[in-house]
Every structure is written in structure tokens, then in C-alpha cells.
Amino acid sequence: MSNSPRPSWKQPAALLLLSLVPVAAGAVRLSTLAGNRGVTAENARFITAPGPVAVHIVSATLFCLLGAFQFDPAFRQRYPRLHRGAGRVAAPCGMLAALTGLWMTLAYPIPAALQGDLLYAVRTAVGLAMALAIAVSVRAVLQRRMARHQAWMVRAYALGQGAGTQVLILLPVTLMAGAPTFFFRDVLMASAWGLNAAFAEWLVRRRLPPTFCLAPLTH
């Protein structure tokens, strides 16, 4: 272990910071649900069916926080058992986050000002894509195809961090012009996932052999 490179804490710190506001917002949401506070148009769907959102918040929080430490090669090399243990928790949490997010998109009556047709379609696609990416990644690690495992988990984590990027995009707009609604909000929310997905593909293509970048799912 003494010859292993020392992990850099810059990358985990950046990912933890990206997770900070969504995690804090999730904690506030759980507190609201536990306290049985007043019903509003914005939270009525959560009060009526709190189970999916509670599971989503807890699983997404664990996925984002544990995942922040999983992508540094030096960390994986220096602490392999910790990496594997964290992965065994993070992967199912990520799958739960994707599936509950998909369920909430399809089943919750979300006000039109908060979700139009565009955001509905994007959220559905993101939930399916994230679940698929995690499934492919887990299958790859069971087959000991580590490069493929890394590539698909990078993609899944990027989609899972969409809420963090949405804060970065929506906050300046909200401060300058008020909270966006309807189609404008849809575009801003969707662009966060688009940016994360594009950045993930750039990382995959930059760090891994070309044959793994767009490897067929059936391989």
C-alpha cells in the first residue's frame, strides 16, 4: 500500500460540493414529510404518496455521496476493499434512485408550471438511461470487464448528478429574474442532464480505450 499513489481529494470534494444543495433540499423535504406540514400545490403529490419520494431522496443521496469517491484511480488502488464495499451500496441505491425518479415522473400529478411535455420526456429518458447504465455497469464488473464497468458507471453517475447541475443553472436565473416556470424551466432543467451526459462522454473517451467508448450493450 505504501507504493500506491495518494488519492487526490479535489475530485471527490468537487462532486460532494455539487451534491450539497440537492442533498440539503432532500433533507428538508424529508423533514417536511415527517412533520406532516401543510399541503401546498407544490408538495401535495409528496404528501399524498410520500414513499417513492422518501426512497428517492435517501437512495440518490447515498449514490451521489458514495459515488464521489469511486472515480479516482488512486483511491481505487489504495483502498480496493472500500471501493468494492461502497460500490455494493452505491449501485443498488443508484438503481433505486433511477426507478423511483421514473415512477414519480409517470405517476405524480406534477403542475404544468413545474413540468411540461419536454421535461416529462427528458425525465423519463433519464430514468431509463440511468437504470440501464447501472445494469450494464454491474454486469460488466461481474464479468471483470473493468473498463466497461467504469465507462457505464461514469455515465450513470453523471445522470444521477443532474440535480446538482440544475442548481448551478437555475440559481442565477432565479436570482436575476425569479423562479423559471413552464417551457423555460423545462429547457433549463433538461440542459443540466444534457451537459452532464456530454461531459461524461468526454471523460469516457478521454480516459478509456476507444473500443470501450461506445461498446455494444450485448457484448
Tell which wins on pLDDT, 219 or 7: 7
* Mean per-residue pLDDT of the chain: 87
For residue 159 the three cell numbers come to: 445522470
Query: What is residue 7's predicted lDDT score, i.e. its pLDDT?
Result: 65
**pTM for this model (two decimals):** 0.87
How sure is the predictor about 107, in pLDDT bands with cuts at 50, 70 and 90? very high
Query: What is residue 127's predicted lDDT score, i.e. its pLDDT?
Result: 97
Query: What is residue 216's predicted lDDT score, i.e. its pLDDT?
Result: 43
Which candidate, 42, 45, 41, places its Cα nearest to that of 54?
Answer: 45
Q: CB–CB of 94/160 below 8 Å?
A: yes
CA 175 to chain centre: 25
Cα 84-207-99 angle, rounded to 5 deg: 50
Q: CB–CB of 96/62 below 8 Å?
A: no
pLDDT tens figures, 6-58: 767 788 899 999 999 899 999 988 888 877 666 666 667 787 888 899 999 99
Phi, psi (degrees; rounded to nearest 5) at 217: -65, -25
Q: CB–CB of 117/34 below 8 Å?
A: no
For residue 125 the three cell numbers come to: 429518458
The share of the chain scoring above pLDDT 90, in percent, equals: 63
Residue 184 has pLDDT above 70, yes or no: yes
Looking at residues 59-72, what average pLDDT do you find? 92
How sure is the predictor about 187, in pLDDT bands with cuts at 50, 70 and 90? very high
Burial class (CB within 10 angstroms; exposed 0-12, middle 13-18, buried 19+) of 83: middle
Q: What is the DSSP letter of 41?
A: T
Cα 218 to Cα 208: distance, rounded to the nearest angstrom: 19
Q: Given CA atoms 186, 188, 191, 196 in this order, what sign does their dihedral have?
A: negative
For residue 212 the three cell numbers come to: 470501450
Query: What is residue 213's predicted lDDT score, i.e. its pLDDT?
Result: 44
How sure is the predictor about 130, in pLDDT bands with cuts at 50, 70 and 90? very high
Query: What is residue 29's predicted lDDT score, i.e. its pLDDT?
Result: 85
The separation between the first and the last C-alpha atoms of the chain, rounded to the nearest angstrom, is 34
For residue 14 the three cell numbers come to: 468537487
The share of the chain scoring above pLDDT 70, in percent, equals: 87
Which candidate, 143, 131, 144, 46, places its Cα nearest to that of 97?
Answer: 131
For residue 144, CA distances in Å to 137, 141, 211 come to: 10, 5, 16
Amino acid at position 82, single letter: L
Residue 208 has pLDDT above 90, yes or no: no
Burial class (CB within 10 angstroms; exposed 0-12, middle 13-18, buried 19+) of 205: middle
Query: What is residue 74's predicted lDDT score, i.e. its pLDDT?
Result: 81
Looking at residues 105-122, what average pLDDT do you find? 93
pLDDT tens figures, 133-153: 999 999 999 999 999 999 999
How sure is the predictor about 209, in pLDDT bands with cuts at 50, 70 and 90? low
